[in-house]
Structure 1
Amino acid sequence: MAAPLSPDELLDALRAEGVRVIEYGSWRTHDRGLRGAGWGPINGVIIHHTASSGTDSSVELCVDGYAELPGPLCHGVITKSGDVYLISAGRANHAGAGDGDVLDAVIAERPTPDPSGSDTDGNAHFYGFECVNLGNGSDPWPDEQLDAIERVGAAICRAYGWSAASVIGHKEWTDQKIDPRGFSMQTMRERIDRRLATKQGKPVPAPAFEPFPGVEFFKSYPRSPIVTAMGRRLVEEGCSAYASGPGPQWTTADVQSFRLWQKKLGDDAKYCDGWPGRLQWDALKIPKV
């Protein structure tokens, strides 16, 4: 059974991974004590978005919470610039009730099932990191912020000897949440696993092509340079249904264009629905954004 990291161990693990840490207030002792199911054993990390904007206000919200849900609301706040404000080293109100089957999968380090139940107290088992983002699908996720998420996940996994399968999104813990919205947790886990294969703090070679961001990324109708890069490759392949563009906003023209690519690949009709799949995406060889 994995005991919680001490404040010094948590701080050292993050800094060793190259995380820019800001120790905020009395973070070492600011926690929810032994409420609920307590704190530990620790089994993983949950990534959230704040549904807010601005560093100061987002950090204060996570530190103080609100009437219905007292703070701390996470262990750290990851800003758009990639800074990580540590606000707690103990139990925090971030995960809430979730699916015990998901926890079992995280412990076994295997893909998680779609969550359905709310029978397990996640606050006892997971570190939680809130990322400053409106969560509307169009608020951008800067490279610095995504890099910080990757490093935070890798730092805690490395400290416990876990793989990236131990890092999940809040929406993968409970069907009552949508966060984080705007990037793929599967792609993030791939990034974390690549980092875990290197020495602490060392740069990770970027993949030659843009990794598959996941079907849910597209079904949130994102606004992203990834969409533009995909559209340009579709045009190059003669698979364009664009009247103008392509541009960063995912539209029905992108769906229609990708359907042409699926047909060009010779895929079965049931796989030609315009929503990218991993193999179809990889075959398109989209330059890294």
Structure 2
Amino acid sequence: MATPMPADAFIAALKAEGLTVVEVGDWRHHNRNTKGPWGPVHGVMIHHTVTSGTARTVEICRAGHSELPGPLCHGVIAKSGVVYLVGYGRANHAGLGDPDVLSAIIDERQLPTDDQASVDGNRHFFGFECENLGDNVDPWPAEQLQAITRVAAAICRHYGWTERSVLRHLDWQPGKVDPRGPGMNWAQVQAAIAKRLGSKPAGTPAPRPQPLTVDLSKLIAAAKSDPGRAGTPVSYAGVRIWEAALVDEGLLAKTRLDGHFGLDTREATSRWQERLGYRGRQPGQPADGIPGLDSAKRLGAKHGFTIVA
């Protein structure tokens, strides 16, 4: 639970994270506060706009339309990575959502499936609309993805939150699909936010990201550490990288990407090994799901991380 920071602290936090920020009109006092409270705030919500053209997108998000008055967010993240501030306070961006998701965000734990719409999200979340057609074809440029990472990190850093306080509109409100499209890999976005929160605000320019590495011995230890105790996190970040790759392969459900090498992760690893031709020691047995050097290196090579043996 947190009180919304003052507008000056908000823009200062964004700039300290190395973002290029454009102030649109009297954004500090443009809000929907007369329609209900804003706060306590619990997280940051990311959307796509279903529009093209930065100027048009910014104006729509600032003014809204006849059925949904603006502001429709606090900031617009353009494809260029520039952040346009259009409002501050209550904004029409989140709508009604799932109380179980809100509880999970507050506790910073794995999100459940959103199947209810009864809690006022406009009250509880910072909202950022990202310029994208939302047709699952329009790509997400690297500059825009980096800006999403920095925006989320700036707010999380201020409140002492982790990347688990950042969510998508689709995580909150049943029927929503945003954000989506080529290049929008949410597991990688969350991993980038987590990585950035491990350092001080960088200012500009940002340092070149370091290659992702996974220590095989630590990964094996995690796989052997009582996989039946679901929900017990393992204190090795490489597990999350490994799980994200399994999710991308379609072998692990996104809801099981939790940093714990439990039974689901072990079974998904077994299916990856079998895909490569490995089997158990006895005829008819499945692969054991303990990462081996060859299967680990081949998964890493396909998904952008290096195995350190």
- 2:118 counterpart letter in structure 1: D
Q: Are the equivalent residues in 2 in contact too, given 1:81–1:144 (CA < 8 A)?
A: yes
Sort the Cα spacing of 1:161 and 1:35 in 2 relative to 1 into closer, same or farther, 3 A. same
Q: Which runs of 5+ in 1 are unaligned?
A: 219-258, 272-278
Q: Which runs of 5+ in 2 are unaligned?
A: 214-240, 251-270, 287-294
Q: Are the equivalent residues in 2 in contact too, given 1:47–1:169 (CA < 8 A)?
A: yes
* 2:207 counterpart of 1:206: no
* 2:198 counterpart of 1:197: yes
Structure 1: distance between partners of 2:178 and 2:246: 14
SS in 1 for 2:140: coil
Matches of residues 1-289 of structure 1 in structure 2 within 5 Å? 1-36=1-36, 38-182=37-181, 183-201=184-202, 202-203=206-207, 205-208=209-212, 212=244, 215=247, 263-264=275-276, 266=278, 283-286=299-302, 288=304
Sort the Cα spacing of 1:213 and 1:18 in 2 relative to 1 into closer, same or farther, 3 A. farther
1:232 corresponds to which residue?
none
- How far off its partner does 1:285 sit? 1.7
Q: Are the equivalent residues in 2 in contact too, given 1:184–1:213 (CA < 8 A)?
A: no
- 1:16-54: CA deviations, max 9, x gaps? 111111011110000001313x10000000000001111
Sort the Cα spacing of 1:65 and 1:14 in 2 relative to 1 into closer, same or farther, 3 A. same
- How far off its partner does 1:286 sit? 2.6
So what's the TM-score if we normalise by structure 1? Answer: 0.76
Identity of paired residues, percent? 49
Task: Give the total of aligned pairs.
Answer: 242
Sort the Cα spacing of 1:208 and 1:173 in 2 relative to 1 into closer, same or farther, 3 A. same
Q: Which has the larger Rg?
A: 2
Q: Are the equivalent residues in 1 in contact too, given 2:245–2:303 (CA < 8 A)?
A: no
Sort the Cα spacing of 1:217 and 1:84 in 2 relative to 1 into closer, same or farther, 3 A. farther
Sort the Cα spacing of 1:161 and 1:204 in 2 relative to 1 into closer, same or farther, 3 A. farther
Q: Are the equivalent residues in 2 in contact too, given 1:75–1:92 (CA < 8 A)?
A: yes
SS in 1 for 2:28: coil
SS in 1 for 2:88: coil
Sort the Cα spacing of 1:89 and 1:263 in 2 relative to 1 into closer, same or farther, 3 A. same
SS in 2 for 1:34: helix
Q: Are the equivalent residues in 1 in contact too, given 2:15–2:21 (CA < 8 A)?
A: yes
SS in 1 for 2:302: coil
Structure 2: distance between partners of 1:213 and 1:54: 33
Structure 2: distance between partners of 1:174 and 1:217: 26
Sort the Cα spacing of 1:214 and 1:287 in 2 relative to 1 into closer, same or farther, 3 A. closer
CA RMSD, Structure 1 to Structure 2 (Å): 2.9
Structure 2: distance between partners of 1:69 and 1:208: 42
Sort the Cα spacing of 1:265 and 1:29 in 2 relative to 1 into closer, same or farther, 3 A. farther
Structure 1: distance between partners of 2:198 and 2:187: 17
Structure 2: distance between partners of 1:96 and 1:87: 18
Sort the Cα spacing of 1:213 and 1:146 in 2 relative to 1 into closer, same or farther, 3 A. farther
- 1:207 counterpart letter in structure 2: P
